Homo-oligomer: A and B are copies of this chain.
Amino acid sequence: MQPKSSSARSPQAELLADATALHAAVSDLVRIYQFRDRDKICCYDISVTQCYALEALAGRGPMRSQALAELLLLDKSTTTRVVDALERKGYVERRADAADARALSLQITRKGRTLYETINRELIAQQAEIVAGFDREACAMATEVIRRLARAAEARFVSGISVGDCAPGTGCSPRRRD
């Protein structure tokens, strides 16, 4: 697993070794974070997806349901329900869109923003513990790599084929019958 001394290895092999190590690390991270994030749920009273929605609305301002769905890579029906939950709890508001009577303007409430900030602060504090062990350079590098990974994955996901060759975001997933 660990890249050995790179002497006597082709650039090809090095690339593969690096990619393998990175993949293993990322894969692990993602798996574990799914649990970590689920914890976040119960402590405050929202789900992970709800939290992402809150984040989007906090960071980008009001938007339509459709825009939110695209941003979060969710189906519009799922988005409706996510917003339902958030609205019920008073974290977002649905306002009529002035320009289009069909559309909505989703807005985070003050209460929602406060909640989001609280959660975010805690999560960032956790990262800070780790970041403290690295120099800034290394941290910036890692952050950049992670960003690119995310963008690349998103692009792959949105645009089409991901792994194997099923349809993309169209959501081929649930078609599986165990």
User: Which residue of B has the minimal Cβ distance to A12?
Assistant: B128
| Residue numbers in B under 8 Å from A39 (CB-CB) | 157, 162-164, 166, 168, 172-173
A131 at the interface (CB under 8 A from B): yes
A8 at the interface (CB under 8 A from B): no
Per DSSP, are chain A's interface residues mostly helix, strand or loop, or mixed?
A: helix
Q: Among the interface residues A150, A166, A169, which one has the most CB atoms of the partner chain B within 10 A?
A: A150
Proximity bits, A40-52, B CB within 8 Å = 1, else 0: 1111110100001
Bound-state CA distance A6–B99 (Å) is 44
Distance in Å from the Cβ of A41 to the closest Cβ of chain B?
A: 5
**Are the C-beta atoms of A73 and B43 separated by less than 8 Å?**
no
**Are the C-beta atoms of B126 and A156 separated by less than 8 Å?**
yes
CB pairs A–B below 8 angstroms (20 shown): A16-B128, A18-B131, A18-B136, A22-B146, A26-B33, A26-B146, A27-B55, A29-B30, A29-B150, A29-B153, A30-B30, A35-B73, A36-B153, A38-B173, A39-B173, A42-B172, A43-B163, A43-B165, A44-B163, A130-B152
**Are the C-beta atoms of B85 and A178 separated by less than 8 Å?**
yes
Proximity bits, A135-178, B CB within 8 Å = 1, else 0: 01111111111111110111011000011111011001111101
Which A residues fall within an 8 A CB radius of B?
3, 6, 14-16, 18-23, 25-45, 47, 52, 55, 72-73, 85, 88, 119-120, 122-134, 136-150, 152-154, 156-157, 162-166, 168-169, 172-176, 178
